[in-house]
A and B are shown apart, each in its own frame.
Chain A
Amino acid sequence: MATEGVEKTSEDVPAAGKVSTRFDLEKETELRFEVEAGEAAEQVELELLTGMAEVFGSELNRNKKYTFGAGSKIAVFTWQGCSVNLYGKPEVAYVSKDTPMLLYLNTHAALEQMRKQAERDNERGPRVMVVGPTDVGKSTVCRLLLSYAVRVGRRPTLVELDVGQSGVSVPGTVSALCIERPADVEEGFSVQAPLVYHFGSTTPGTNIKLYNKLTSCLAEVFSQRCEVNRKASVGGCIINTCGWVKGSGYQALVHCASAFQVDVVLVLDHERLYNELKRDLPHFVRVVLLPKSGGVVERSKECRRDARDEKIREYFYGFRGVSFYPFSFEVRFSDVRIYKIGAPSIPDSCLPLGMSQDDTQLKLVPVTPGRDLTYHVLSVSSAEDGEEGARKGIVESPVCGFIVVTYVDTQTQVMKVLSPAPRPLPRHTLLIMDIRFMDMK
């Protein structure tokens, strides 16, 4: 599309010392830009000047500046054509005509068709599982489809099974979130009352049994919600999965499909996975192969770690570390019970006869508080602080919050914790994660 307002140039930029670059986009093209990663990186601001555009399904307001921090990788897509201004110096910025957005939109249209049918026939809406290897844009596709669904008035549910890069809660958890409005362009979906389960590690491989168990837990709770909430039922759910598609990871995907009784599986850019799922899932499950976007960037290990750290910081300090003010207080060891889920695996030859290794994976192992607890993220389980008898339910109980141990004093048997809420802790059963967080900023 032809662009208007060509006269707008960098001179109009307020004296922030930032370079302004203007991009005129034709219809069905997207502007991709990346902000430099690292501490010293300059933030980049985005402003829509004319036309209409969206970022991952969320529409941009005209003449509003959106700020993107270090490490952001953004694609501004337009269906009709638009012109935007970038302030600051992005690492890369280019316009691409080659986007699979139309395919994604068609996918959404098909899902919407299903929701309409569900609404008409008083049935449940589509349950979609998005699978694919790492770095193909699974989370982005989920966000896109959810945003589109919300924009046409649905109330879908995001089920986040990616324990490494959770979009809802801190890493090391699986969660479900009811989506009621499109994602914020900068912050993503607003997280209100998510259902979070403790997993404790960033890869499902550390305890695949627990992972499958939590998947089943989420599926059950979601089904219960669907039974009493018509809107949620019609809206269906979109399940984001991990990028582990081989061996046990693949089995976990099949298990998830079965637990959630998914109707549609979206396979992103992995034909072999597509063929395997076609073979292993019953015929009434629609398996769809979709391409990944050319804009997807492979993230390094460090990048993933930083993203995890950022997610935890966001939990305590709010988006960009400005909106929340966490509390720091001391907790006596005697007041809390700390557990780890899953005993370390023992060689089979060391096990008592007749005992199988599986028994250990869901076991609660009490952790003696010590100096090595420092910087670990702990989940506060919502299990009632009952006696030993209540221990059974802890694994399947959701999490009410997280705390980080900042200092351990073994002499006085006290640890200092960072907590989003003032003392006292709502519950006293804590589950330890492998994930550590240092409050450096």
Chain B
Amino acid sequence: MIINHPLLGPCDAQEFTYLGDARLIDRPDGMADGAEDVFYDYAYLRDNPAGQHRELWFHEAGDRSWLVITRNTLTHEIISVELARDVARKQGRSL
């Protein structure tokens, strides 16, 4: 596969390490009430879609950026590639 890195352009997928579902960005607050149940979902529950999937890739043999890649799991078509940091900020994560 070829991943079109937003800063570096097209890169071979061999340069990357795959992590999984991009919802791992949405880490709950560990100090909130009822955190245990929410963390159980966060740590263990994943969708396994046949189709579009947002997932985290790490450019380990490259610039060490984490990326959010939207990929069709049926065709391997890559729909979008974003810096995970930008995605996290857009989703309201900060400090």
Bind each other: no
A residues with a Cβ closer than 8 A to B are none
